Structure 1
Amino acid sequence: MTLFEELKTAAADDWADYTHHSFVQQLGAGTLPQAAFRNYLIQDYLFLIQFARAYALAAYKGDSFDDLAKGQAGLQAIIEESELHVRLCAGWGISREQMESAPEHPATVAYTRYVLDVGMQGDLLDLHVALAPCVIGYAEIGNRLKPALDANPEHPYAEWIAEYSSEDSQQMADDATANIEQLGARFLSDARFPKLAQIFATATRMETAFWQMGLDLGAAEE
């Protein structure tokens, strides 16, 4: 198994809770309340600002031009991803400025600052393990939901599913998996795996909490 697969196996229950959360299931079925999706998108836009900072930190933590290039590529990909949120929210008359001025939900703060804290305290391997549930998990979810889009081109969440099932998203996930494997060859020891597994499981549980936040905010508007 790759290092990522080992981490995923060690956190199997947490990973299943995240990737099969009710938010995801409803999104795929097209039954997710619009208010839940809208609130999620706004918070995810704020989330991506902090994740972009995490990739900038990854570049700073690098000690080779290859490390720097990977940090830069991750940062650029996050900036491009944020445009999906801008386009979708514009359809509800919500501007970029309104999104940026929205208050961060505690779930957004907890998750993003955890990743940044892991990166500040640890090395590149710690940081990329903390980033992995988002980068790789969204591609896995997008790929699993793609048949729903293929079956219904008028799917209410077609653009979101198309984004995360796209070749670019799948390639980014593959690159992230390969990068963790390479960093493991540089930094991993048997004694260190339990800490990495803890980081991965914690970040995965925070992804689950992020989905739940979307459902809760949507329910509050009903």
Structure 2
Amino acid sequence: MMAPDYGKTFGLWRAGAAEPWHDYMNHAFVEGLRDGSLPRASFLHYLIQDYVFLVHFSRAWSLALVKAETLAEMKVCAGMVDALVNQEMGLHVKTCAREGIDEAALYNATEAAENLAYTRYVMDAGLQGDFLDMMAALAPCVMGYGEIGVRLAAEKAADTPYAEWIATYADPEYQSVCSTVGEMIDSAVARRIGDLSSSPRALQLQDRFTRTTQLEISFWQMGMNV
């Protein structure tokens, strides 16, 4: 099936990271969500670590808000912080609560090495770089989950126990978030450097995006290593 369109810049970054992007989209963890074969212990381990990840991801989007140059950019970044803190974390809390894991245990969970590597890389991208560095580091998670959600919604097994997770990221509301972030990134690139394809900054930003995609692959693998 055709990959969803989340803007010109994202399309260029995804094409520039073709091999790791494929591995991210089609990891064994993702296929286990699709057909229901993923062990429940692996899913819960992932959910707990992803909750910790979202705490730091929210901080990163807050830093992006500080780095923003326009009101439109500020609104998108603020909206992302709100969605992460007040909505997406709710999926993890609800699912884990059914398994006897409360929110305090989620928040205080020991952070896996793969989680540390990923979240601190994203924060470092923001502290060392500018708004575009942050967007290149944040985009693989936001848009990657959107792309995975769309594919799995179309291909999932009828009896997969992970239908709720899939539906969260296939939902039109989440897809709208991906499109909004993609449009904002396109505008941010045009405002700061013009045509990304001819900019000397292009390779730096592509490297940010590719490296973060590789860290996403490691995060899936972490979920499998239980």
TM-score range, shorter chain: over 0.9
**Structure 1 stretches (4+) deviating beyond 3 angstroms?**
none
Alpha-carbon distance between aligned partners in 2 of 1:139 and 1:64, rounded to the nearest angstrom: 25
2:141 to 129, 134, 138: 134
Question: Could you say which residue in structure 1 is the equivalent of 2:171?
Answer: 166
Alpha-carbon distance between aligned partners in 2 of 1:118 and 1:185, rounded to the nearest angstrom: 20
Question: Could you say which residue in structure 2 is the equivalent of 1:220?
Answer: none
Structure 1 residue 43 corresponds to structure 2 residue 49 = yes
Does structure 1 conserve the Cα–Cα contact (< 8 Å) formed by 2:76 and 2:180?
no
**Unmatched tracts of structure 2, length 5 or more:** 1-6
2:114 to 96, 107, 110: 107
Alpha-carbon distance between aligned partners in 1 of 2:14 and 2:108, rounded to the nearest angstrom: 35
Question: Could you say which residue in structure 1 is the equivalent of 2:20?
Answer: 14
The structure-2 alpha-carbon separation of the partners of 1:10 and 1:148, relative to structure 1 and needing over 3 Å to count, comes to closer
1:69 to 51, 65, 75: 75
Q: Which moved more, 1:123-132 or 1:181-190?
A: 181-190
Letter of the 1:176 counterpart: V
SS in 2 for 1:155: coil
TM-score (norm 2): 0.92
TM-score (norm 1): 0.93
Shift of residue 187, structure 1, vs aligned partner: 2.0
Letter of the 1:196 counterpart: L
Alpha-carbon distance between aligned partners in 1 of 2:160 and 2:26, rounded to the nearest angstrom: 19
Alpha-carbon distance between aligned partners in 1 of 2:105 and 2:11, rounded to the nearest angstrom: 39
Alpha-carbon distance between aligned partners in 1 of 2:128 and 2:215, rounded to the nearest angstrom: 19
- % of aligned pairs identical? 41
Question: Could you say which residue in structure 2 is the equivalent of 1:191?
Answer: 200
Alpha-carbon distance between aligned partners in 1 of 2:121 and 2:214, rounded to the nearest angstrom: 12
Alpha-carbon distance between aligned partners in 2 of 1:171 and 1:131, rounded to the nearest angstrom: 16
Q: Deviations over 1:141-178 (max 9, x none)?
A: 000000245x62x5300110110100111111111211
Alpha-carbon distance between aligned partners in 1 of 2:181 and 2:203, rounded to the nearest angstrom: 20
Q: Deviations over 1:21-51 (max 9, x none)?
A: 0100111011100000000000000000000
1:123 to 103, 119, 130: 130
CA RMSD of aligned residues (A): 1.3
Number of aligned residues: 215
Greater helix proportion: 1
**Unmatched tracts of structure 1, length 5 or more:** 218-222
Does structure 1 conserve the Cα–Cα contact (< 8 Å) formed by 2:29 and 2:220?
yes
Shift of residue 106, structure 1, vs aligned partner: 0.6
Alpha-carbon distance between aligned partners in 2 of 1:11 and 1:62, rounded to the nearest angstrom: 26
Alpha-carbon distance between aligned partners in 1 of 2:75 and 2:180, rounded to the nearest angstrom: 12
